[in-house]
Amino acid sequence: MDRILKQPMAIEVKQLEMFGLITIKVDLSKVEVQALFRKLAGSNLIEEREIIVGSGVSIAWMSPDEVLVICEYATIEKVRLEIVRHFKKIHCLIADMSDTRTFFQLAGDGWRDALAKGSPSDLSFRSFKEGMFMRSRLGNIAAAFWILDEQKVVVMCSRSVREFMYEWLKNACRAESQPMYEI
């Protein structure tokens, strides 16, 4: 029986433009909260580790009482004011986090293997699927990631470690550092 080795492919790493980010700490079970999610992203968000990708606004589950609203940087103030108006009678914390995070996109077949080199999380097809938002560690840095499609994933980390994360991702994604599998 012949053994065939799957040749590794290079994975493209690029830094993305800034996104608008708003953290909301609130009781996620409130009807008013669910109504805002429907208005902003077109769907309720109640599931653990889920991201709802809407047109222009996405909402990611961060913890049982916290979500992250992601939008275009140019629309952050408009979205923030909409949230403040909607929640004016609800006890909550609303914070603009836009300038504290940076984003990278990995594109290519082996992005799961590249991220798995530095993450304790299970990134297999069974455990990490499109529509999921994962908070974890990557190269010993707090990070979050979500799948755009099976070929692309977004990685978010603190802006203060942007250079380290970029270098780590570049090294992890080099073709010669990718595992070779027997098929």
Over residues 55-71, the pLDDT tens digits come to 899 999 999 999 999 99
- Residue range 19-99 forms a domain whose CATH class is alpha beta
pLDDT at 53: 87
- Assign domain 10-15+100-182 one CATH number from 3.30.1360.120, 3.40.50.1380, 3.40.50.360, 3.40.640.10: 3.30.1360.120
pLDDT digits (tens, 9 = 90+) for 103-116: 999 999 889 999 99
pTM higher than the cut 0.85: yes
- 179 has a pLDDT exceeding 80: no
- 86 has a pLDDT exceeding 50: yes
pLDDT at 155: 97
Cβ contact 45:37 at 8 Å: yes
Give the residue range(s) of CATH 3.30.1360.120 domains in the chain: 10-15+100-182
